[in-house]
Amino acid sequence: MSKYRCPECEYEYDEDNGEPREGFPAGTPFAEVPDDWTCPDCGVRDKVDFELVES
Amino acid sequence: MEASTVEPTGRYGDEALAAGVTDQEALGWRDGKRYAWLLGLLVPMIPFGALQWHMITGSDIAWWFGPIVIFVIFPLVDMIAGIDGSNPPSSLIEWLENDKYYRWCTFLFLPIQFASLIWVCWMWTRPYMDTVDKVGLAATVGMVSGIAIACAHELGHKKEKLERWLSKIALAPSMYGHFYIEHNRGHHVRVSTPEDPASARMGESFYAFWPRTVGGSLKSAWHLESARFKRLKKSKWSIKNDILNAWLMSVVLFAVLTAIFGWMTLPLLLLQAVIGFSMLEVVNYLEHYGLMRRKGEDGRYERCQPEHSWNSNNTWSNVMLYHLQRHSDHHAHPTRRYQSLRHIDDAPQLPTGYAGMIVLAVFPPFWYKVMDKRCVEHYDGDVTRCNISPRARKRILKRWGGDAGVSTAKQEAA
């Protein structure tokens, strides 16, 4: 399972934990997150801007 | 406060970091505004100021103290207090962000804000208050509820749960709980595009902007939360819906105050809420007026740049609004704390602070006179790059289009 980071605010999407509040339960692969999903913390970077930090 | 534009990175930053220095004293930098932030707590005290004034002079004008402070005194103080464009050294930003003192300056706003509101409810129901006094008092506490949105704005952008909750509480008196959702996930995403209800268009008066932003922001907030619940595969009619639970706070607050002070408190609460969120919207109006991001070939808008927000370094307004006027840096780094926001040299600057600009915004002919030429100059005379109101497009293009815009901009430059 991989981790992806928002390059602006360092929010991390960890596939292990998902982001249940946003509707992505634990284990949701980042690939299943819609492309236009914005960073839940800063809002100014989209999913496609996120960087892979750990796989 | 001395005006300075120290470029700190080279002087302190790299060398100091290399030496492992993180203590601000060692770096010889002191935050000139550190204790000034406490002045922000004067705003929620304005209704008590009205009472003092009334007790000393017996004058009924005193109940209008709020609008007098915001529309007359603050713009004047703002001009007298001058400009401060200094930035904290970049190496100290992390240290500055972690200094909890600055958080307390925002937290403390809330108890005073609610004490004011409760006192105004009591005062409003006194038999000797006539209608004019009452409206004045509602406007006075409305100013507090409005500026509380600036405090809620600062808190709502943070990652910490406590601050997000406090943000919603500060929004309760203005019934603007949906702002927390719409601002962070709507406005920041679409800022300075025609799709954003909270970005004003060139040629659009504040009175035309008001219904568009109030209605549009509400609709957009609801769509955002609905989409989230759709992904969750749950009903959006839930207490976990961040719009509904925030609004519920307003309902509970108003219900409790009405139960204590009587049903006659209800018109006060509603009136001050409308005045409160209108204060926020007039600030929204000036923050991005006429500015527009370009669309790339891939259909995505260019990233929000410093050039897409109006800024001001007027010290007084900045202290009262938690550096909200360093708006370009705020849009570049929305989670950055107010004390670390930076002045950016090439970002568009307003002729005075937000305090004076909101006065201008309520008089559209003066607003256009001051701002339209600045928008056109900002785009080197090319008015077509501005975010223009469709209803005013013909008039704007006739006035600023083709050579007219270019020559005026050149004249101004010369």
Give the pLDDT confidence of B91-114 residue by residue, as tens digits. 888 889 999 999 999 999 999 999
Closest CA to B90 of B14, B5, B4: B14
Supply the pLDDT for residue A55: 82
Instruction: Average the pLDDT over each of B3-12, B242-251, B371-380 and give the range with the smallest value.
Output: B3-12
Is A11 an interface residue toward B (CB < 8 Å)?
A: yes
- Contact partners, residue B270, CB within 8 Å, separation at least 6: none
Supply the pLDDT for residue A49: 95
- Contact partners, residue B219, CB within 8 Å, separation at least 6: B197
- Structure pTM? 0.91
Contact list, A23 vs chain B (CB under 8 Å) = 228-233
Give the containing element (helix H, strand E) for B248.
Answer: helix B242-261
In the predicted model, is pLDDT for residue B288 greater than 50? yes
**A6 CB-side CA count, 13 A:** 20
In the predicted model, is pLDDT for residue B27 greater than 90? no
Q: Show the tokens assigned to B21.
A: 């220095």
Higher-confidence residue of B30 and B387: namely: B387
In the predicted model, is pLDDT for residue B281 greater than 70? yes
- The chain-wide mean pLDDT, for chain B, equals 92
Cα-flanking dihedrals φ and ψ of residue A43, to 5°?
A: 75, -5
Mean pLDDT of B8-36: 63
Higher-confidence residue of B406 and B197: namely: B197
Task: Give B404's pLDDT tier (boundaries 50, 70, 90).
Answer: low
Q: How far is A32 from chain B (nearest CA, A)?
A: 11
Is B159 an interface residue toward A (CB < 8 Å)?
A: yes
Supply the pLDDT for residue B320: 97
**A19-54 confidence digits (pLDDT tens):** 999 999 999 999 999 998 999 999 999 999 999 998
In the predicted model, is pLDDT for residue B167 greater than 80? yes
Which DSSP state fits B35? T
Return the percentage of chain B with pLDDT > 70, whole number: 90
Q: How far is A47 from chain B (nearest CA, A)?
A: 13
Contact list, B332 vs chain A (CB under 8 Å) = 44
Supply the pLDDT for residue B7: 40
Whole-angstrom Cα distance, residue B106 to residue B376? 37
Is B260 within 8 Å of B119 (Cβ atoms)? no
Task: Give B2's pLDDT tier (boundaries 50, 70, 90).
Answer: very low
In the predicted model, is pLDDT for residue B219 greater than 70? yes
In the predicted model, is pLDDT for residue B115 greater than 90? yes
Place of tokens 């509380």: B148
Beginning with the edge strand found earlier in the chain, give each strand of the sheet holding A51-54 in spatial order.
A12-14, A3-5, A51-54
Task: Give B28's pLDDT tier (boundaries 50, 70, 90).
Answer: confident
Total number of residues shown for chain B:
414
Supply the pLDDT for residue B323: 97
In the predicted model, is pLDDT for residue B12 greater than 80? no
Supply the pLDDT for residue B148: 98
Task: Give B60's pLDDT tier (boundaries 50, 70, 90).
Answer: very high
Closest CA to B147 of B358, B389, B384, B396: B358
Task: Give B413's pLDDT tier (boundaries 50, 70, 90).
Answer: low
In the predicted model, is pLDDT for residue B44 greater than 50? yes
Q: How far is B242 from chain A (nearest CA, A)?
A: 11
Is B367 within 8 Å of B206 (Cβ atoms)? yes
Closest CA to B340 of B96, B151, B39, B23: B96
Return the percentage of chain B with pLDDT > 90, whole number: 87
Nearest CA in chain B to A20: B232
